[in-house]
Each structure stands twice: as structure tokens, then as C-alpha cells.
Amino acid sequence: MEIQSLDLLGSKLIYPHRIGDERGYFSETFRADQFANEVGDWSFVQDNESLSALPGTIRGLHFQSEPYVQGKLVRCTAGALFDVAVDIRAGSPTFGQWVGETLTAENGKQLWVPPGFAHGFCSLEPDTVICYKVTGYYSAECDKGLAWDDPAIGIEWPDIADPNTLSGKDRQQPRLSDLSAYFSWSE
């Protein structure tokens, strides 16, 4: 695996190597020792998967608060998606900034979304499947969010992003300026 630091402090893009031949390919998509050395010593406790049937489906921006904070290692196993992480750590030099990456089943790239970041995505193809490992268990009480279209953040979503696909919960998420300080930045 090749691991590249992104502009947001702590976020990483991971390129698993693929060994291919006429039959297809083999890829090691996660290796704990290398991940610990280059990203941090995180334990993953749950794997999640979601299918978006229609292109333009928007999910997020989501995060979990204490005591069930989650880091996410995200990849696309079918179709394609535009994946986004937003730094919401109070005091961080990159607070309120975002990164976005196109993850596809074909390119195999993965995005590390550290604790203290909101996460969301937009499906780019029909029947897109996103899979992600998380560092904390899901908790309904700790399930929080941020408005996907907050102009203060200015995420450049793909043209096909369809607000009509938002869940009821995601239609009511607060803007960054109204968000409680759930996380603090420390070096």
C-alpha cells in the first residue's frame, strides 16, 4: 500500500497495490502494521456497507461524538463515489476545510477520515457500494451531522448531486457556525 497525506491534517489517501493478470487481480486492502506506522495505531471494531441505487445520491455529512467517536477507512466496492471529509476539530489549522476524492471499484483508492472529521459522499454511478471500517461502534445517541451544502465550507459537489436524495435527518443538519465544539485539535 502507498499512503499519501492530504491537505487536511490527519487525512490520508491510500493506494492498495494490485497484482493482476488475465484472470483479474489480487489486492491487499488493509495491513495493520503499515497502517499503524504511517497513519496511527487504530483498532477497527465494525465494518459498514451502503448501497446507493441512483447516481447523485448524497449521504452525510456524518460523525459520531464521544464516547463513540469514529475514524473511518472508506472504499468503494462497486460503482463510483465522490467522498468528502471536513475537519471539525476546534482550533485546527484546517478547521472547516474539506478534501474530496473520487473512489471507484476500479481505482481501489481508500480515504482515511480521522476522528474529528465529518464524512459524506455522493454516488456517481448506479448501484454504488461504499464499505468502511470504523474505530468506534455505532451509537444513535452519538450520531451527529453537519449540513452537506454549508456555504462556509464550500464543498464542490459533483453536478449530479441531488438534494432530493437526502434523508430526513440530513435535511436538518446544522451549519458549521451552529455546530457545537465536539472535538478539539491537538498536535
User: Do 124 and 55 touch, CB atoms closer than 8 A?
Assistant: yes
Residue 62 designated active-site: yes
Cβ pair 13, 113 in contact under 8 A: no
74 in helix, strand or coil?
Answer: strand
Q: Which of 15, 25, 119, 132 is catalytic?
A: 132
Q: To the nearest 10°, report the CA torsion of 182, 115, 163, 171.
A: -30
d(CA 166, CA 164): 6
Residues in the chain: 187
Q: What is the rounded distance in angstroms from the CA atom of residue 17 to the CA atom of residue 56?
A: 29
**137 is known as an active-site residue:** no
- Residue 139 to residue 64: CA distance in whole angstroms: 8
One of 17, 25, 62, 138 is an active-site residue; which one? Answer: 62
As a whole number of angstroms, the distance between CA 66 and CA 92 comes to: 18
Rounded alpha-carbon distances, angstroms, from residue 118 to 1, 69, 186: 25, 11, 17
Is residue 120 within 8 A of residue 58, CB to CB? The reply is: yes
Catalytic residue list? 62, 132
